[in-house]
Chains A and B, each alone.
Chain A
């Protein structure tokens, strides 16, 4: 079998941000369902939280390439 162990590491690293992004969107959907007119007010916060959590997964992706020779 060929491949890089880094990819397994990236898979593990993506679990946390995956759950985090899911929680953020779930919370926003709940908030919007309860109070539809608040959607516009909470949307910047949604994307802000989403972006902050998502970047963790992306760190993992970049490091999977950066650490380990980069081929």
Chain B
């Protein structure tokens, strides 16, 4: 049950939405407090559905590949080809681009679908509005670019490329190197995760403000305020459209930045 549906069912006001709006009750109340608590919720449903849709769609679309693509094959190929051409190959060149395109394309499609639950009626919350999921993706990307860097250059050389900016005067290095370590090794996964999380968090909150606000106005005893609630619902619809842009943009930005970090690990100089 979504948060707004619970509000309507209980008939009490949750109006100023806050962090409590992101807590989801277990579907089976018997599980609360056991080891299986938080296993069956709307959030986990979103994640499982995302994985299922991705796996099933790509297996189904590519079951009998043809030289002249069928409709479903074309859809799968253009989704993959978009990331392969505009992100992977543009950033890393033909050879390395094709090598990392599968990871980047999977990442992009996974994030798009995960974010998309934010505007699907009945669910209307993205699992990415909980920090755990973006953090996991960011850690994966972090492991990826660190591993690629160490494998390509060896640990010492990779560290030198990553944290020692070339061409600076010698006396400034004690100041520069800690900043570069902080920025390139510690803060990158943090900002990667936080950007996606905060966008989804803010998006859900904005939708809640307008939609719950609309119901709050509708419950008012003043006739004019009830009438004005239509503007609140209208804003709710407009913000849903805006969310669609944010969903695609944030998935693209996450993929692009991961690609850039991997490219930085592959390159000789940074």
- A residues lining the B interface (CB < 8 Å): 2-3, 40, 44, 47-48, 50-52, 54-55, 58-59, 61-62, 65, 70-71
Closest residue on chain A to residue B197 by CB atoms = A62
**A51 with B257: in contact, given A65-B18, A71-B18 (CB under 8 Å)?**
yes
Nearest B residue to A51 by beta-carbon distance?
Answer: B253
B90 CB–A CB distance under 8 Å: yes
Question: Across the interface, do A58 and B256 meet the contact criterion of CB distance under 8 Å?
Answer: no
Q: How far is the CA of A48 from the CA of B16 in the complex (A)?
A: 34
Contact yes or no, A55 B191, CB < 8 A: yes
Tell whether A62 pairs with B201 under 8 Å between CB atoms, given A48-B256, A55-B195. yes
**Of B18, B19, B20, B195, which one neighbours A58 at CB under 8 angstroms?**
B195
B96 to chain A, nearest CB (A): 15
Q: Is the CB of A44 within 8 A of B260?
A: yes
B90 contacts A44, CB within 8 Å?
yes
**A65 CB to closest chain B CB, in angstroms?**
6
CB pair A71–B20 under 8 Å, yes or no, is yes
User: Could you tell me if A47 and B201 are in contact, using CB atoms closer than 8 angstroms?
Assistant: no
* Shortest CB distance A50–B (Å): 8
* A55 smallest CB distance to B (angstroms): 5
Describe A's contact surface by its main secondary structure: helix
B91 engages A44 (CB within 8 Å): yes
Majority secondary structure, B binding face: helix
How many chain B residues touch the partner (CB < 8 A)? 19
Please give, as numbers and ranges, the residues of chain B lying within 8 Å of A61 by CB-CB distance.
198, 201-202
Q: Given A40-B90, A47-B253, is A70 in contact with B19 using a C-beta cutoff of 8 Å?
A: yes
Identify 12 residue pairs between A and B in the complex whose beta-carbon atoms are under 8 Å apart, listed by A's number. A44-B256, A47-B256, A50-B253, A51-B256, A54-B195, A55-B195, A58-B194, A58-B198, A62-B194, A62-B198, A71-B18, A71-B20
State A50–B18 Cα separation when bound (angstroms): 27
Distance A41 CA – B20 CA, assembled complex (angstroms): 44
| Chain B residues with CB under 8 A of A50 | 253
Q: Mark B16-33, 1 if CB is under 8 A from A, else 0.
A: 101110000000000000
Bound: A54/B249 CA distance, A: 12
**Pair A48/B201 contact, Cβ less than 8 Å:** no
Measured CB to CB, the closest approach of chain B to A10, in angstroms, equals 10
Quick one: which of B19, B194, B202, B256 contacts A55, CB cutoff 8 A?
B194
**Cβ-neighbour of B194 out of A3, A48, A52, A59 (below 8 A):** A59
Collect the chain B residues with CB atoms within 8 Å of residue A65's CB.
18-19
CB A5 to nearest CB in B, in angstroms, measures: 14
User: Is B41 part of the contact surface with A, judged by Cβ < 8 Å?
Assistant: no
Task: Name the residue on B nearest A71 (C-beta).
Answer: B18
Contact of B18 among A40, A44, A62, A70 (CB under 8 A): A70
- Report the separation of the CA atoms of residues A16 and B221 in the bound assembly, to the nearest whole angstrom: 41
The 7 closest A-B pairs by CB, nearest first: A58-B198, A70-B19, A51-B253, A55-B195, A55-B191, A71-B18, A62-B198
